[in-house]
Chain A
Amino acid sequence: MIRLKVNDVERTFDGDPQMPLLWYLRDELGLTGAKYGCGMALCGACTVHRNGKAIRSCSTPMADVDGAEIVTIEGLSKNGLHPVQKAWMEVNVPQCGYCQPGQIMQAVALLRENPHPTDEEIERAMAGNICRCGTYQRIRAAIKKAAGGSV
């Protein structure tokens, strides 16, 4: 039996321990904010937080989240929007929007560790998150905007 906390709610799981966290979140808990994009930790669409750090849920087996605290985009902010989400809206980042929950979760984790990243640091931290619509220029701008405020 695997025990974990998802967005502050205690959960138990007794299915296949090799099942990636992504499919547990999406198909079992109905938390569809984290997206499937590649299944190989290549695109970042599935990014969530495990104990505050960004991970690729598509390649993290349930066995690896026993006892962990998981936060998804749905649980990112309890009161209104997170400052990163606000910045995302102000800069009007999304086009199709499919990758954006992953991008936002990655950006939140970056700013937590490095509140004022340089362009290069942003590029390095966001390198694992693909956006096919090509919103990178605005993602960078939104991260800088969020860094300018209090995150």
Chain B
Amino acid sequence: MKFLPYIVKHLRKNWIRTVSTILAMALCIFLIGTLQTLLAAFYGGLDRASTERLVTRNRVSLVFPLPLSYEPRLATMPGIKRVAKSSWFGGVMGNDANPDMKNFFPNFAVEAEPYLAMYPEYGLTAAEKQAFLSDPRGCIIGSDLADKHNWKIGSVIPLTSTIPPYKIGKPFEFVVQGIYKPDEKKYPSHSKQILLFHWKYLYEATNQRASVGTYITQIANPDQAPAMASAIDKTFENSDAETKTETEGQFYAGFVKMIGDLALILNSIGLAVAFTILAVCANTMSMSIRERRKEIAVLKTLGFSSALVLTLVLGEALVIGFVGGLLGVGLTKVALSAAGSIPGLNGFGATLRLGPGLLAMMFGLSGLIGLLSGLQPAVSAYRSNMTAMLRQV
């Protein structure tokens, strides 16, 4: 610690260069942090996917519905514990002429009782659950959504669907009967921005035009998931609406795949940025040490060992790394809190959250870039010959 003021004084000497390098590092950490948060959000569904839940949809496309008659057939299949209907409602606030896309959030019509029994992620109190089940117009919303719009139990949420069969000439009105908070330890990536309401309400309000988007089934033995999925699809083979059944994880992965190999693209960008910043920082450190060859020779003459000189140079690089990292993390936090309001970004329930793992990765990366950028000049200072350098003085 007694050498820290010495390190800081050197960094302050050429403060424009130091600040520029720190800003470059901060930008790198910010970009990587943001990209990784987006990735984590998109792939969050995979993390939270249950191995005992299967999703059955129309084989042609998710856009095409499934007949209501499939539910009793699924329910009686051996190995299936529960079945629940689920339909994407695509509701927005505002009206048809002027939909409020800015405040869009995911909303689904579900068969509430079996659905909630399958999804312990929706942490409700017993009273809230009972109130929701007994109110045909009731809905439950995530705590983030409630906080954002200041909705409370009893609030009425008017939503108009963007899907033609679900348009009824006026908004649906949902009464908030529960505000769910997922257990942060068990389900850290579960979205807190979803609205669920009764499928029956949708069915009745649309004069029985509503269909089923997906059937969610809970199976008794997760090990049998592939066999069960295959059995379900075989049951509806050669029908008007053939099915495609997948585990929940495969279903989410399919969604992510629709936007290409996102992980490869974002990770490649992150890697390119990190490598560029490493080169920039390494160049800065090299210049800084090259300018101080005389000083390094003097330090060694005064009795500073080569190992200590190496440590001091690496210390400078690490300070740049960590300050840049700290700034980058701060920028990322600010950007993510602002991005929460970007329309569509969390439309599928993606939670933009800077988790402890990602934070550790960002700080680790900034330290690593700092360390690597200082390595070559530090080794060069370590190896430098005092007499040769003093002769150049």
Whether chains A and B associate is no
Question: Could you list which residues of chain A lie within 8 angstroms of chain B, going by C-beta atoms?
Answer: none
